[in-house]
A and B are shown apart, each in its own frame.
Chain A
């Protein structure tokens, strides 16, 4: 029997109970992630609570009506198949272009035109002049192009000299 004499300890008890509760996930034939609950498969969308500051922890599983059907604190608490299903879903949910090298950034009328090499392939994109790459809590920078796509830029020391030189004016 667990004794919880103080309020904070009580909270901890609840959280432990929740963590220990088994979350089973699977991938449906149509490719969606599903939460298996009482023998039923509930299609869910996996959302990272902290996509940048804690990308590997705290996942909210939302059903088709947008309600929270389940919550996963960490991938580590899931068993193999569930972990793989969630990891696949998260790969899509958290997808952003990952810049490896900056080839060119040109200032134009109201636009900043980028030419980059990303982990996904070469890409040209444009940002508004007042859209600056912002520091993200994890590491590196994030910039949004005019179409809404996000591009992750590694920290300065992970970039080559030319990319660093180009990026210098745009980030701290």
Chain B
């Protein structure tokens, strides 16, 4: 089965499980529309799920190469053609987005009534976006045709939000546990030791009652009945006691071995998972990180792996042992006395059922406390970063009161949980005590009778075994919850591990060392979501050492161009070449080592200034670091700091000013000595003096390198050899600063004039 077939299957499963929506355009709808179109195929479709009165219904919108049709489908399956018109009649496509619906209107000539109006919930929006995009392109004169199978596009658009939220289709819990077991393979010896010691311990726990019963029946009772003399009775008695003592001591030894072995095993598995997840995260493409919240990724590496430690260390073994123990005890009790054994064992399913039900009920309480807990911690995570605002407006007391209220709500939920479980367990104990009493009631007449049918020793044995039943029952009652927690964590971890990096190197990847710096784009297209094209057939060639300024309005695609050069994303069409080699054939690591980036908000890591400058070249000598710092105008301000280059910059470099952080980032780039340099708004958001210092640093940095610089302040790009003015994903103008200014109606000229006017306005 091909991967696309597998993906279709998964999408079908998601749709069937989570929605009550058709997995594809119904055959009779397709047939009716295609018949209407003289057998021209439907190339794309979507479903409007709201009618004029905003009630749920089904209305299929089908797009052909020449026509578009809308067909209503009633609950009884009857069809009604709502509209069928040539695509060419559509002059304007208008979408109005409301809270939970979109109204799509297809318009013809001015003042003509709407050609069609379709209403749909956000669930259908992605499917419609593709259709809207194609129609919009058509109205602008571009002939864009969809690629891919219409059914797959439709299904994916519906399932994508679910899959993204869940990370992957809910997999079978058994398969997840089995995969987790695979992580124990390197520690077979520990697993074996843990299992064997646990089993030996189980067997050992069965011995003391057996010995106690024998001691009573074979020593105490015969002695008291004068069938055994004092000395023989004492000798035998001491032997029994010694045997019990040895058994108990051995239990402790095995327990110690088991705990130590399994705890360490759990830690080893958790460490391996942490390493594997983190290493895999480094390989994943930026797309993955843009889809996930940082907190969610962090918790996968930290708390999820930690939660698995508990399960691996004890959960698996405890559960299997609980089953063995219950079975063993049942066999022992039935063997000792089948009638009493039956009385003891028969109610056990009821007790396990009660514990299971209690587990489900308390789960709801845990859900509540989890929510209240999040409410409380939200205040902390919200106010700590915004502490300046809190203080500036003297709202400390109000925030404290808000926290107290939420903290109190947590306490109340905790009380509810404690009330629940403290009320439940005594009732379970009462049931077990009831069973014990029942056994006493049955056993007593059998022991105290003219012809006793039950010996005291056997009964004591029985009572001792009964007390052992409780613990494994409790474990089994908790299995569901434990399994849920563990599989949920394991799923989150495996989801990261199963995510495939979008950028991978070919086996024959080329190492360009050194990169000369020739960059070519040949008819490159790119789309982040597969629908909206950000780069539309862009072509250019940049010579080694050339400095290119990228200008244009926000959202034009400037940063995307640089992201494609560095190969953070793969172009969806066309070809990008570095020194004549397709970037897809390059060794990414070697190539990226020779590319430097200075971004608008430079990210510094927690550590010293030295660590941060050396980040690109960990082995750089101190002389090299100072040289780079001088070039980047860092040296002067750093040497004024009390700890010099050893100053800790704090998380994200917060102890430094924006301009200082930027210059450290430039020093980092200088040290890396990149052949291709990308400057993305490197001098924005700083004051004029700082900008001058950064600009000086950049002027030194750009020498002898191929540079792509993005800037809104056009004055910073005057030194560029050429400027590319980018609009709607295309190069609208190209030339030197002077040449572009000469184009009176040119975009660059307009931008320049606007900035000059603004500058003069504020200068006044």
Query: A residues touching B (Cβ–Cβ < 8 Å)?
Result: 29-32, 45, 51, 91-97, 107-111, 113, 118, 120-126, 128, 130, 132, 145-150, 168-170, 172
State the CA gap A124–B33 with chains docked (Å). Answer: 29
Contacts of A109 on B, CB cut-off 8 Å? 166-167, 170-171, 487-488, 491-492
Contacts of A32 on B, CB cut-off 8 Å? 94, 96, 105
Among A45, A97, A146, A172, residue most surrounded by chain B Cβ atoms (within 10 Å): A146
A150 touches B100 (CB 8 A): yes
Closest Cβ of chain A to B312, distance in Å, is 19
State the CA gap A138–B564 with chains docked (Å). Answer: 48
A110 touches B491 (CB 8 A): yes
B105 touches A31 (CB 8 A): yes
State the CA gap A148–B166 with chains docked (Å). Answer: 15
Closest Cβ of chain B to A114, distance in Å, is 10
Which single member of A29, A107, A108 contacts B166 (CB below 8 Å)? A108
Closest 10 CB pairs of A and B: A121-B56, A148-B122, A169-B364, A147-B123, A146-B161, A30-B114, A146-B165, A169-B367, A29-B113, A147-B161
A31 touches B103 (CB 8 A): yes
Contacts of B57 on A, CB cut-off 8 Å? 121
Closest Cβ of chain B to A38, distance in Å, is 19
A122 touches B123 (CB 8 A): no
Contacts of B371 on A, CB cut-off 8 Å? 132, 170
Contacts of A125 on B, CB cut-off 8 Å? 18, 123
Contacts of B488 on A, CB cut-off 8 Å? 109-110
In the complex, B744 has a CB within 8 A of chain A? no
- Within B51-102, the residues touching A (CB, 8 Å) are 54-57, 94, 96, 98-101
Beta-carbon nearest neighbor of A122 in chain B? B20
State the CA gap A141–B171 with chains docked (Å). Answer: 31
In the complex, B572 has a CB within 8 A of chain A? no
Pull 7 A–B residue pairs with CB atoms less than 8 Å apart, ordered by A.
Answer: A30-B105, A30-B107, A32-B105, A92-B103, A95-B99, A109-B492, A126-B166
Contacts of B162 on A, CB cut-off 8 Å? 111, 126, 146
Since A92-B103, A122-B56 are in contact, a sample of 19 more A-B pairs with Cβ atoms closer than 8 Å, ordered by chain A residue number, is A29-B113, A29-B114, A30-B94, A31-B105, A32-B96, A95-B50, A107-B367, A108-B170, A109-B166, A109-B171, A109-B487, A110-B488, A110-B491, A120-B50, A120-B55, A121-B57, A126-B166, A169-B367, A170-B367
A120 touches B113 (CB 8 A): no
Closest Cβ of chain B to A134, distance in Å, is 10
B165 touches A110 (CB 8 A): yes
Contacts of A170 on B, CB cut-off 8 Å? 367, 371
In the complex, B121 has a CB within 8 A of chain A? yes
Closest Cβ of chain A to B353, distance in Å, is 20
A168 touches B99 (CB 8 A): no
A147 touches B170 (CB 8 A): no
Contacts of B18 on A, CB cut-off 8 Å? 113, 124-126
In the complex, B111 has a CB within 8 A of chain A? yes
Contacts of A94 on B, CB cut-off 8 Å? 98-99
Which single member of B114, B119, B121, B166 contacts A149 (CB below 8 Å)? B121
In the complex, B368 has a CB within 8 A of chain A? yes
In the complex, B365 has a CB within 8 A of chain A? yes
Beta-carbon nearest neighbor of A118 in chain B? B56
Knowing A120-B55, A121-B56, A149-B123 touch, does A45 contact B367 (C-beta < 8 A)? no
In the complex, B19 has a CB within 8 A of chain A? yes
State the CA gap A125–B105 with chains docked (Å). Answer: 26
Among A92, A94, A145, residue most surrounded by chain B Cβ atoms (within 10 Å): A92
In the complex, B117 has a CB within 8 A of chain A? yes
Contacts of B101 on A, CB cut-off 8 Å? 92, 95
Contacts of B96 on A, CB cut-off 8 Å? 32, 45, 92
B125 touches A147 (CB 8 A): yes
Contacts of B279 on A, CB cut-off 8 Å? none
State the CA gap A109–B162 with chains docked (Å). Answer: 11
Which single member of A93, A130, A146, A168 contacts B98 (CB below 8 Å)? A93
B105 touches A149 (CB 8 A): no
In the complex, B374 has a CB within 8 A of chain A? yes
State the CA gap A120–B56 with chains docked (Å). Answer: 5
Which single member of A95, A113, A121 contacts B100 (CB below 8 Å)? A95
Contacts of A169 on B, CB cut-off 8 Å? 364-365, 367-368
Beta-carbon nearest neighbor of A171 in chain B? B371
In the complex, B252 has a CB within 8 A of chain A? no
Contacts of B498 on A, CB cut-off 8 Å? none
State the CA gap A123–B367 with chains docked (Å). Answer: 24
Closest Cβ of chain A to B712, distance in Å, is 22
In the complex, B164 has a CB within 8 A of chain A? yes
Closest Cβ of chain B to A36, distance in Å, is 16
Query: B164-178 toward A: CB 8 Å interface, digit per residue (1/0)?
Result: 111100110000000
State the CA gap A97–B165 with chains docked (Å). Answer: 21
Knowing A30-B105, A121-B56, A148-B125 touch, does A92 contact B98 (C-beta < 8 A)? yes
Knowing A109-B166, A121-B55, A147-B125 touch, does A95 contact B98 (C-beta < 8 A)? yes
Beta-carbon nearest neighbor of B19 in chain A? A124
A146 touches B125 (CB 8 A): no
Contacts of A111 on B, CB cut-off 8 Å? 162, 165-166, 170
B54 touches A120 (CB 8 A): yes
State the CA gap A21–B243 with chains docked (Å). Answer: 101
Contacts of A113 on B, CB cut-off 8 Å? 18
A126 touches B56 (CB 8 A): no
Which single member of A51, A93, A130 contacts B374 (CB below 8 Å)? A130
Contacts of A120 on B, CB cut-off 8 Å? 50, 54-56
Closest Cβ of chain B to A115, distance in Å, is 9
Which single member of B54, B165, B364 contacts A95 (CB below 8 Å)? B54
A31 touches B117 (CB 8 A): yes
Contacts of A107 on B, CB cut-off 8 Å? 363, 367, 484
Query: B287-308 toward A: CB 8 Å interface, digit per residue (1/0)?
Result: 0000000000000000000000
Among B98, B101, B162, residue most surrounded by chain A Cβ atoms (within 10 Å): B98
Beta-carbon nearest neighbor of B106 in chain A? A30
Knowing A31-B105, A45-B96, A149-B100 touch, does A124 contact B55 (C-beta < 8 A)? no
State the CA gap A123–B363 with chains docked (Å). Answer: 25
A30 touches B492 (CB 8 A): no
Contacts of B103 on A, CB cut-off 8 Å? 31, 92
State the CA gap A108–B107 with chains docked (Å). Answer: 44
A93 touches B166 (CB 8 A): no
Closest Cβ of chain B to A14, distance in Å, is 28
Query: B107-139 toward A: CB 8 Å interface, digit per residue (1/0)?
Result: 100011110010101110100000000000000
